[in-house]
């Protein structure tokens, strides 16, 4: 005979602390030079073959066998479906490419305080040289 399930005690809603809502802003609020730099950087990352492959595996829902082995060298779960998954499905690659071509930089959101601090620095090298000399 099975023991009865444990009784769940729910906390009083008044005692719960509300999560802090963080205001975010769009990259479109950046000045033209910073926005251009951000767009170029994100495009460069999205166009790296490894980024496409990684995102396609996420869309596919299963890593490839070789990708899985990079992190799980000693895995004993031989019945796992990843051991038969040697290539990314073509549909997942196509969906990944469609996402990349339709990606809009303004869909990203940043905390204003973080992006503003970064903008106030004239150039990363200038800040770095201050610490080096």
**Domain count across the chain:** 1
Q: Which residue has the higher pLDDT, 69 or 128?
A: 69
The answer, yes or no, to whether residue 1 has pLDDT greater than 60, is yes
Q: Does residue 128 sit within a domain?
A: yes
C-alpha 65: how far from chain center: 22
Of 33-47, 87-101, 106-120, where does mean pLDDT reach its minimum? 106-120
Q: Does residue 54 sit within a domain?
A: yes
Q: Does residue 46 sit within a domain?
A: yes
Phi, psi of 104 (to 5 degrees): -115, 120
The pLDDT value given to residue 55: 93
The pLDDT value given to residue 81: 84
Domain containing residue 122: 27-132
pTM above 0.95, yes or no: no
Torsion angle of alpha carbons 64, 66, 67, 70, nearest 10°? 150
């Amino acid at each position: 005979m099975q023991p009865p399930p444990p009784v769940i005690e729910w906390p009083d809603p008044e005692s719960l602390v509300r999560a802090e809502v963080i205001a975010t802003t769009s990259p479109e609020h950046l000045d033209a030079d910073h926005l251009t730099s951000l767009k170029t950087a994100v495009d460069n990352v999205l166009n790296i073959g490894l980024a496409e492959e990684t995102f396609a595996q996420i869309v596919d829902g299963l890593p490839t066998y070789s990708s899985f082995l990079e992190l799980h060298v000693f895995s004993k779960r031989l019945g796992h479906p990843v051991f038969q998954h040697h290539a990314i499905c073509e549909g997942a690659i196509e969906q990944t490419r469609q996402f990349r071509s339709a990606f809009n930089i303004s869909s990203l959101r940043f905390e204003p305080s973080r992006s503003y601090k970064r903008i106030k620095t004239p150039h990363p090298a200038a800040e770095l040289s201050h610490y080096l000399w």
